[in-house]
A and B are shown apart, each in its own frame.
Chain A
Amino acid sequence: MQKEMAYSFPDEVLKHVFTFIQSDEDRNAVSLVCKSWYEIERWCRRKVFIGNCYAVSPRMVIRRFPEVRSIELKGKPHFADFNLVPDGWGGYVLQWIAEMAGAYPWLGEIRLKRMVVTDESLELIAKSFKNFKVLVLFSCEGFSTDGLAAIAASCKNLRELDLRESEVDDLSGHWLAHFPETCTSLVSLNISCLGSDEVSFSALERLVDRCPNLRSLQLNRGVTLDKIANILRRAPQLVDFGTGNYAAELQPDVFSNLAGAFSSCKELKSLSGFWDVVPAYLPALYSICPRLTSLNLSYATIQSPDLIKLVSHCPRLQRLLVLDYVEDSGLEELASSCKDLQELRVFPSDPFGAEPNVSLTEQGLVAVSLGCPKLQSVLYFCRRMSNAALVTIAQNCPNLTCFRLCIIEPKTADYLTLEPLDAGFGAIVEHCKDLRRLSLSGLLTDHVFEYIGTYGKKLEMLSVAFAGDSDLGLHHVLSGCESLRKLEIRDCPFGDKALLANAAKLETMRSLWMSSCAVSFGACKLLGQKMPKLNVEVIDETEPPDSRPESYPVDKLYIYRSVAGPRFDMPPFVWSMDEAVKILH
């Protein structure tokens, strides 16, 4: 015992040291050193991130970490974004809030993604946490402006209210007026999802006026262009601003007022919003363009010449989101003007059109890869691709960490050689050794998965659609990708063999989604039986899977590791393959 004491520090010292350790990975490592470190660490962990709200229960989290001040939770699978997860699937936050209300009176931050948040939940947050500071609802749904009013009214020191891309039932624009006059603490406010519905603009103006620390403000579409100047003049310290509607009849005094207001914002680095843009008003931005590092024009239906003009004024741009109106010519301009570019996202303006409506091809992306050596993250929608282009991109940008390519028509071959795009994507995984996220599209055989399994050692998330020939494809990925956490697959001929052969792998991942594939009900049951640490859930909206033969493929399958056992909030169209649950069902 004496010897041990000579080598160990008092708990307080260790605790103090641990406060400098912020990352979850490091904290997890620290907690594994020895029992006493585990104990000390768990009492001083202040932030918890839960990537799948069903992987663990609120009670378990509270039991292990009694002093949490900040929590982040994610609910629905990623494919819920594309309507593949039926409504009512789950991801309800209420239970979490209810339990934390009792256990964490000092909880100050709640960040949620893809969860169902009711007004009841919001009201509970408002009245349970006296020190509440940050609420981020990313892509959430289930609440209305009534819930927001409760938050506004009760949270005296609210710093952040961010509703990005959430679905809010807009009952009244007056919820904003519920922020008391004493609230001066806002740093970030994102109400861009509130669409064309009006918020009480005078309440917004007064709020902005009295919050000198406001750094980030994203208005909703309902705020018209003429009002922007008013807001900006009250908040010249803004770093990040999202306009509302950016359209109005061109009037010189409105223009000069707007230009003046923008130029007074010396710290402004990031712009977004830009619904319904009138190009003639874009020059009002020119004074701040040289400082801009991030520009989101992905809702702006402006054509290439106007985009080119704007982008050429922004040499420091690091992040650009834009519609395919930018065209190859616009991307070529981007490549020559913006050498600091790290992230590019190009969205389709006409995703369902049979014919291309703009001249955007693989050439645009190749140009950017050539001109922007710091490129790390790509999301690109286009209608044609070639292996040659992909190989060039891979060789030009070995530092890519995220590559998501969506060729709009499923199973589109290399337009030059008519071959599958295996070699192209193979080059991407081979050259980009730090690639963490990859989304595939186009005509692909099992070969592409062989490349991915061989080279994708750092790959954490893979999205696959309409690809592959056989189970071998899936097997390559599950057996080769050592860092894989999330795998989502739709419409691929992958069946039971690869899944069952790699069952143990699934416990090392966060989740696996497979829809419209060939996995049989029997295999799902077997997995559920053999792997108690996995929740195997079958989703079928038409009829119960056991009303058909066992060899019949299931419609949708969601498998995730969990220490909480099967969940209790499954709707009628979700079946758990857990043995215990089945007996009761």
Chain B
Amino acid sequence: ILTAKDFPSVVSHRTKNGGPSVSVSGTKRAAESVSHEGGSPTGVSGSSQVVGWPPIRAYRMNSLVNQAKSQRADEGDSGIGEKDKPKDGLKKKLNYNGNKISSTTTVNEKGHLGFVKVNMDGIPIGRKVDLNAHSCYQSLAQALEDMFLRSTNSVGAEKEQLTKASKLLDGSSEFVLTYEDKEGDWMLVGDVPWRMFVSSVRRLRIMRTSEANGLGIHKKSMANHSCFSFSVSESCYSFVAAPRFHDSNERQRSKPI
């Protein structure tokens, strides 16, 4: 029986951020290593990890996500593994089997599956970044630096490792990373726990430091904020463990590996 695992070279994974694939649900699935049920020929579901597969238009995905969101809102906050609950003739609950869409996926205002727009001062063309591909600020900042601040002609030597603190986050760059939240306010990235940020961010802007005065937390205190003194061994790879600044009341959403 051939499974996706027999053809590792042709299945593409998102590894753009200089580190191993850290997309949340995909890695979970591989680690769970679903035992082959009966005669199931497909084995481990690899499709959740593959970009652009199954081929469903972004427009349609947004709708699916928005349905999930509104239904979660109806039933109150919910964890994974919802059972169907008929509700007085109103819409039936969708059983998502705890997959990417319902519980661990970021959805911004427009409902795009994790993609938020990023603009940088001085660059007319904006980009999009997939927040689901990151589990901490460091990784996001790294990706953004790769996208915007690195000249594409510079090779090799410039490839920074995650061990180096991102310039965007520690205030040493001439740019700072800011975001627009659900209320339309512009904030400095890094103030709040990662997941809280991910659920409230609408879009990002890499702003000139000179223009960032008066935004959210003062630049100086940002550098001292505990969320930037983490080392590689923390959040980025152990996305299950709550980072130390995490609100202890926030419900653990991820399934343990």
Instruction: Spell out A's residues near B (CB within 8 Å).
Output: 79, 81-84, 86-88, 139, 165, 167, 193, 195-196, 221, 247, 249-250, 275-280, 298-299, 301-303, 347-355, 357, 381, 406, 408-413, 415, 418, 439, 443, 463, 465-466, 490-493, 515-516, 541-544, 547, 571-573
Contacts and interface: CB of A to CB of B under 8 A. Distances in A.
Given A412-B42, A572-B152, A301 B94 contact: yes
Contact of B55 (A81, A86, A280): A81
B89 A279 contact: yes
A86 B127 contact: yes
13 contacts: A83-B52, A83-B58, A87-B126, A139-B59, A247-B91, A348-B56, A350-B97, A350-B101, A352-B48, A354-B48, A406-B55, A411-B3, A542-B16
Contact of B153 (A352, A418, A544): A544
Contact of B89 (A165, A280, A541): A280
A246 to B, nearest CB: 10
Contact of B59 (A165, A250, A541): A165
B95 interface: yes
Contacts of A83: 51-52, 58, 115
B101 A352 contact: yes
A490 B54 CA distance: 12
A466 B11 contact: yes
Contact of A195 (B45, B92, B100, B110): B110
B50 interface: yes
Contact of A357 (B9, B59, B60, B95): B95
B82 to A, nearest CB: 11
A172 to B, nearest CB: 13
B156 interface: yes
A406 B51 contact: no
B197 interface: no
A84 B128 CA distance: 12
Contacts of A412: 41-42
A547 B128 CA distance: 25
Contacts of A409: 4, 42, 45-47
Nearest to B40: A415
- Pairs of residues from A and B, 9 with the lowest C-beta to C-beta distance, nearest first: A82-B52, A516-B12, A354-B45, A87-B128, A409-B42, A88-B125, A352-B99, A165-B59, A547-B155
B31 interface: no
Contacts, number: 165
Given A349-B64, A354-B99, A516-B12, A418 B54 contact: no
- Most chain-B CB neighbours within 10 Å: which of A79, A221, A491? A491
B78 interface: no
Given A83-B52, A443-B2, A466-B10, A352 B47 contact: yes
A19 B138 CA distance: 63
A149 B45 CA distance: 46
Contacts of B11: 410, 466, 491
B23 to A, nearest CB: 11
Q: How large is the interface on B (under 10, 10 to 19, 20 to 34, 35 or more residues)?
A: 35 or more
Interface string B94-131: 11110111000000001100010100000001111000
Contacts of B9: 493
Nearest to B43: A409
A402 B47 CA distance: 25
B166 interface: no
B99 A411 contact: no
Q: Is the interface of B mostly helix, strand, loop or mixed?
A: loop
A96 B89 CA distance: 52
A347 B41 contact: no
Nearest to A250: B89
Identify the interface centre among A249, A410, A542: most chain B CB within 10 Å of its CB: A410
A167 B64 CA distance: 16
A276 B66 CA distance: 10
B68 to A, nearest CB: 10
A347 B60 contact: yes
B25 A541 contact: no
A105 to B, nearest CB: 29
A493 B9 CA distance: 9
Given A276-B67, A349-B64, A492-B10, 18 more contacts: A82-B53, A83-B115, A195-B66, A196-B66, A247-B90, A279-B89, A280-B89, A349-B94, A351-B56, A352-B101, A354-B34, A354-B45, A357-B96, A408-B47, A409-B42, A412-B42, A413-B1, A491-B12
Contact of A410 (B4, B58, B59, B110): B4
Contacts of B57: 81-82, 139, 165
Contacts of A139: 57, 59
B4 A88 contact: no
Contacts of A418: 1, 41
B63 interface: yes
A84 B52 contact: yes
Contacts of A79: 52
A530 B11 CA distance: 31
Contact of A303 (B45, B54, B92, B125): B92
A252 to B, nearest CB: 14
Contacts of A301: 67, 91-92, 94
A396 to B, nearest CB: 25
A84 B126 CA distance: 16
A195 B111 contact: yes
B125 A571 contact: yes
A351 B115 CA distance: 18
A411 B152 contact: no
B10 A493 contact: yes
A110 to B, nearest CB: 21
Given A516-B10, A573-B152, A299 B92 contact: no
Nearest to A542: B16
A567 B243 CA distance: 47
B29 interface: yes
Nearest to B63: A299
- Among A87, A165, A349, A492, the one with the most B-chain Cβ atoms within 10 Å of its Cβ is A87
Nearest to B97: A353
B46 A410 contact: yes
B167 to A, nearest CB: 19
B70 interface: yes
Nearest to B70: A276
A247 B88 CA distance: 13
B56 A413 contact: no
Contacts of B126: 87-88
Nearest to A516: B12
Interface string B194-211: 000000000000000000
B91 A278 contact: yes
B96 A547 contact: no
A573 B11 CA distance: 22
B16 to A, nearest CB: 6
A79 B41 CA distance: 28
A354 B29 contact: yes
A191 to B, nearest CB: 14
B101 A167 contact: no
A485 B49 CA distance: 30
Nearest to A381: B54
A412 B2 CA distance: 8
Nearest to B50: A410
Nearest to A357: B95
